[in-house]
Amino acid sequence: MRWLDMPPVWLLACLVLAWGQAAYFPAGLSFGGAWSEFAGGLLVGGGVVLMALALSEFRRHRTTVIPHETPERLIQTGIFSRTRNPIYLGDALVLAGLILWWDAVLALPLVPIFVWVIEKRFIEPEEDRMRRKFRMDFARYCEKTRRWI
């Protein structure tokens, strides 16, 4: 059951809820048409690019991308020099973008809920493991690079 407690599963659950709200409970609310589709597309595209850049850094450094495991190396290059959590940031951008694209106004609170769940379930435990393993290197990294943006 541990495979169910993974960020993509949480993202998928939020996306299903957002799509369901847009499809079955629109409540007569709308973001306003073409601009929201454009903005949504930009957010989704940006999120996918962030995730791809992060995955390429994981591959280049030959360390794990699995959230419940401790990485072998502390990645501080590439996109990780701008944000400590580019994949989670990308997930949040994809969620926000699809909410805009689907015109799911009532699903907007899912974005901060998703971010909160990701922080509590994944980021904080990951940072604890990395703090124990990389000690001062991780402390210096945290000083110069923000958690989200």
The pLDDT tens digits of the residues spanning 83-106 come to 999 999 999 999 999 999 999 999
C-alpha to C-alpha distance for 99 and 114, rounded to whole angstroms: 13
- What pLDDT shows up at residue 2? 66
CA-nearest of 118, 93, 96 to 7 is 118
Q: Estimate the crossing angle of helix 86-102 against helix 7-24, to 10 degrees.
A: 10
Helix, strand counts (H, E) of the chain: 5, 0
Tokens at 50, concatenated: 């962030």
Full-model pTM: 0.93
Neighbours of 74 (CB within 10 A): 15
The pLDDT tens digits of the residues spanning 43-72 come to 999 999 999 999 999 999 999 998 888 899
